[in-house]
Amino acid sequence: MLKIYLARHGQNTDNMAGILNGHRDEPLTEKGIKQAHEIADKTKEIELSFDAVYSSPLVRAFETAKIISRITGSPEPQKELLLIERDFGIMTGKNISDIEKLCAPNIIKGEIITYFLNPEGAETFPDLMKRARMLIDKIEAVHKKGNILLVTHGDIGKMIYAEYYKLDWKQVLTQFHFGNCDLLLLSEDSVASESHVFKVLQHNH
C-alpha cells in the first residue's frame, strides 16, 4: 500500500514577522530548525522512515526535508515544483494583519488564519486543487507502495489533503490548522478525520 505523508515546513523569518510568504524564499529561523528536528525525532521514535522524499524547492521546505531525511535515514529529498506554495499575487510580502482590509469580502476566516480567495495575480484555491491532483497522480504513477514524504506549505498542503480525500476546499480551510512541521498521513486505510500523525504546538501562519 502507498502511504503519503505530508509535512509543512518549519517556521521561517516571514512566519515570525507575520509576513505573507507565498513564493518569497526566506530561511528557517532557529525555532524552525528545532521544529524540523522535533518532527524528525518523533518520526524516528515510531520507526517510520521514507522510501522517497519530495520537497517544495523553496528553502524553508527543502531545509526541513533535509533534516527529516537525515535523522530518519531516508533518501535525500528531491525538489518537486508542484509542491511550491500558492502564488499570493499582490498579497505576497504583505502583513498578515492587512488581509481583511485588502481582501474583504473575498475571504474565509478560520480559527487561526484568514484566507484570501482571489486577489490580483494570486492562484485561487480551485487552481491549487488542480495542481494537487497533478501532484497526486504523479506520485501514484511512480510509487505503487511504500512510505512517501512530501514537504510543502500551508495553503497547497491543505489542498493536497482536500484533493486526496475528495473534500470541499472551503470546508477544509476552516476544518483544522496545518501548522509548521505538522505531519499528515494520506492513505487508503487512513480516514480524513484522523490524518494528523504529529502536531507541533504553535500558531504560525
CATH (domain of 173): 3.40.50.1240
- The reported pLDDT for the residue numbered 200 is 53
Residue 110 within any structural domain of the chain: no
- The reported pLDDT for the residue numbered 198 is 67
Q: Indicate the SS3 state at residue 153.
A: coil
Residue 100 within any structural domain of the chain: no
User: Angle at which helices 154-164 and 125-142 pack, to 10 degrees?
Assistant: 70
Residue 113 within any structural domain of the chain: no
Strand partners, 76: none
Residue 154 within any structural domain of the chain: yes
Q: Indicate the SS3 state at residue 41.
A: helix
Residue 170 within any structural domain of the chain: yes
The domain of 40 spans: 2-87+124-198
Smallest CA-to-CA distance from 149 within 52, 60, 37, 48 is with 52
- The reported pLDDT for the residue numbered 199 is 63
- The reported pLDDT for the residue numbered 192 is 85
Residue 46 within any structural domain of the chain: yes
Give the amino acid at 39: I
Residue 149 within any structural domain of the chain: yes
pLDDT tens, position by position, 171-198: 999 999 899 999 999 999 888 888 878 6
